[in-house]
Each structure stands twice: as structure tokens, then as C-alpha cells.
Amino acid sequence: MASIFTKIIQGEIPCEKIIETDSEIAILDIMPCAKGHTLVIPKLEVKLLEDVPESEALSLMRTIQYVAKAVSTAFDRIDYNIILNNGSNAGQEVEHVHFHILPRPKGSLRPFHQRSNYAEGEMQEVGAKIRNCL
Ligand code: 5GP
């Protein structure tokens, strides 16, 4: 069965898209640890980092770097974590490899400690703010 991210990539499930390349998509996380929490997802549906073909790895890292810079810039050069939960014991819930770009406001709790929801229309505003910094 297709992963939830494959369904998003195929346009079957809506998302707040930051950017789409030939090989990756970046979207806002629906239950963010902080505003601007972004996921970078290879279009190829594989579970683990080591399953990503070497030929795709450079493109993936380039997109992570490009999007992370935009996320940081959008929030006044905020610090951030880049996190991969690689396997269920590492906290992976969606079995389709993806990197979290996690903005870290000063004094913020450790990653994944706290989740929130966007208010009505806020996700679209945050998405636009990040896209403006690409
Ligand atoms: P994991 O625990 O697998 O590393 O992270 C999966 C992430 O995907 C979670 O942070 C979760 O909030 C996010 N997520 C799950 N379903 C959806 C969805 O339908 N849309 C979006 N934008 N994010 C999702």
C-alpha cells in the first residue's frame, strides 16, 4: 500500500507544499513541533536512508540544505535541527524516509517533546513565508 507521503506526492492528499523537484517534495508537517517544521521527502518510496539509491542521495541533501536555509531565513535566521527517524525504534512512524527540518526558538523543548496545530489559515501563511525565502 502506498505511504501517506506517496499519496501526498501524487496529489491524493492535500499538503502545504514548500517546493517540489524531480526527486523530492518538501511540505509543512501537519503536527509541527514548531512553526515552520518542514519535511523533505524523496519521491521514491523507500523506508530507510540506506535504501535511497546513491544516485539520488546528493539531490536529496541539496534539497534539504536549500529548504533548511529558507526555513531559517523565514524565521530571522533561526537555529534548527535536521532529524531523520530511521526505523521504528528510532521513532519512525511513516515508513517512507523523510527528513525533519525543525526550527528551534530560543529555550525550546527538545525535539518531538511537544506538538501543536496550526490555527485556521496559519499553515498557508507560514508556507508562503518560507517559499518567499527560497
Ligand atoms: P516520523 O515519526 O515518521 O519521523 O514523522 C512523521 C511525520 O509526518 C510526523 O511529524 C507527522 O506529524 C507527519 N505527518 C503524518 N501524516 C501527515 C500528513 O498527512 N500530512 C503532513 N503534512 N504531515 C504528516
pLDDT of residue 20: 98
Can you give the CATH number for the domain in which 89 is found? Answer: 3.30.428.10
Give burial (CB, 10 Å; 0-12/13-18/19+) of 104.
Answer: middle
Q: Is 33 in the pocket of ligand 1 (CB under 6 A)?
A: no
The rounded Å distance from CA 54 to ligand 1 centre is 25
Range of the domain at 96: 4-131
As a whole number of angstroms, the longest Cα–Cα distance in the chain is 40
Q: Is 14 in the pocket of ligand 1 (CB under 6 A)?
A: no
Mean pLDDT by 10 residues, the chain (134 residues): 96 98 98 97 98 97 98 98 98 98 93 91 98 98
Give 62-131 as a DSSP string: HHHHHHHHHHHHHTTS--EEEE---SGGGT--SSS--EEEEE--TTPPSTTS----PPTTHHHHHHHHHH
Number of separate domains in the chain? 1
pLDDT of residue 114: 86
